[in-house]
Structure 1
Amino acid sequence: MFSFDWHRFFLNDLSITFLGEVAVRVLFAYIVVFLFLKVSGRRGIRQLSLFELVIILTLGSASGDVTFYDDVPVLPVAMVFLVLLVLYRFTTFLTARSSRVARWVEGEVITLIQDGLYVLDSLDGLNISEDEFFMELRQEGVEHLGQIRLALIELDGDISAYYYDREEVRPGLSVLPPQHRQDYTCVPADGLYACNHCGETQRLQAQQQLSCPRCQRNLWSLALTTQRAR
């Protein structure tokens, strides 16, 4: 095999019509990756926009293979880049001119916590790991939901939180890990408890079992009233 074999470099043993098949393959991959990311939820995207991640994932294999393997011709890879560029431009064109398309493709900012309570429609409709969410709140110095006036999930999956002033903090659901938060279906003593699902607080008596009037769940933990550390 000789270096700089231009026939092998551009097409190898492939027909020129194969470039059309490549275009269809790229369209298929673009749609599949996009739908997967839509279904899996925005928390997996984080610092990248949905389209940036789609482009990176779809281009990754094509751009890597052509640099290392001598049997991967250049023209099909160039077709991958060209088709993805066209798809990207077309999608951004649609989202810029239609708010309905933009909402479907990019999603909307979602209110997750309001007035120290989970927004039930948002909580039940999102693919969110509570452990990861609570971890992020703890890293911001949050100990319980009663310290939070408003929490939003942004388009990239990041959380924006706005807090009560220290004197306005209300009792709320603890965000501490299980070893620091006891959960009960039958509470051991009189006190103020928070529903582990929605954050609703109720004053319960010892040995009382109660379904939350807001979400109908029956797991409770002691509501906290501490002020935010910072």
Structure 2
Amino acid sequence: MDWDALFGLDHALELVVRGTAVYWFLFLLFRLVLRRDVGALGIADVLLIVLIADASQNAMAGEYETISDGFVLVGTIAGWNVLMDWVSYRFPATRRLLEPGPLPLVRDGRIQQRNMRRELVTRDELMAQLRQHGIEKLSQVKLATMENDGSISVIRADDGDADEAPAGGAQKTF
């Protein structure tokens, strides 16, 4: 068995550049396009899972010259994910660029049509989410926002308390 062929680092720099390019392309794509489809996982988490799954599959299946090439690519992708989390935590101004903020869908009982169109949320989808929070009419809503994970949080107009999903039922996220 040729151990050098199995564990050599023939294309390490190229893989770092490729991993970086693919990470940023997919991060921006998920950040700008797929906000409501991601669910409870963060965008960077989904991206990390997808990229590492593909990179490690290629390393295992022999698509790369060496196993070490696969390790370098997976390490590069994981490194970017850790760095993005650290930068978001350490620098609040950067967090606003990397993570979407809450987006109002209903304010004082009135639907924010522009934001609904932006996120492609229909009135029926919104009303279904409000019913899960025990709200029957828009007039009962002080504020309903789409959070950065795609879930909708609701503040009732009557008592001002945040309403939570009913016990025993899973909170549906967009």
2:84 aligned residue: 91
Q: 2:110 aligns with which of 112, 117, 122?
A: 117
2:58 aligned residue: 65
Structure 1 residues not aligned, in runs of 5+: 167-230
1:225 aligned residue: none
Contact 2:59–2:69 (CA under 8 A) maintained in structure 1: no
Q: Please, what is the CA RMSD of the aligned residues?
A: 2.5
Contact 1:33–1:58 (CA under 8 A) maintained in structure 2: no
Contact 1:113–1:151 (CA under 8 A) maintained in structure 2: yes
Residue 119 of structure 2 corresponds to residue 127 of structure 1: yes
Sequence identity (%): 24
Query: Please, what TM-score do these two structures have when normalized by structure 1?
Result: 0.59
CA 153–89 in structure 1, closer or farther in 2 if over 3 Å, else same = same
Structure 2 residues not aligned, in runs of 5+: 160-174
Deviation track 1:175-217 (CA, whole Å, cap 9, x = no partner) reads xxxxxxxxxxxxxxxxxxxxxxxxxxxxxxxxxxxxxxxxxxx
Work out the CA distance in 2 between the residues paired with 1:157 and 1:165: 25
1:9 aligned residue: 6
Work out the CA distance in 2 between the residues paired with 1:77 and 1:152: 41
1:27 aligned residue: 20
Which structure would you say has the larger RCO, counting Cα contacts within 8 Å and 6 or more residues apart? 2
Deviation track 1:110-152 (CA, whole Å, cap 9, x = no partner) reads 222111112355335x323214333323334433322222212
2:94 aligned residue: 101
State the 1:29 CA deviation.
Answer: 0.7
SS at 1:80 equivalent: helix
CA 66–86 in structure 1, closer or farther in 2 if over 3 Å, else same = closer
Work out the CA distance in 2 between the residues paired with 1:165 and 1:96: 35
Please identify the structure whose Cα radius of gyration is greater: 1
Work out the CA distance in 2 between the residues paired with 1:22 and 1:136: 43
State the 1:6 CA deviation.
Answer: 2.8
1:182 aligned residue: none
SS at 1:28 equivalent: helix
SS at 2:88 equivalent: helix
Work out the CA distance in 2 between the residues paired with 1:107 and 1:39: 9
CA 128–62 in structure 1, closer or farther in 2 if over 3 Å, else same = same
Contact 2:58–2:70 (CA under 8 A) maintained in structure 1: no
SS at 2:98 equivalent: helix
Letter matched to residue 6 of structure 2:
F
Greater per-residue helix proportion = 2
1:154 aligned residue: 147
1:45 aligned residue: 38
Letter matched to residue 57 of structure 1:
V
2:130 aligned residue: 137
Contact 1:46–1:156 (CA under 8 A) maintained in structure 2: yes
State the 1:163 CA deviation.
Answer: 2.3
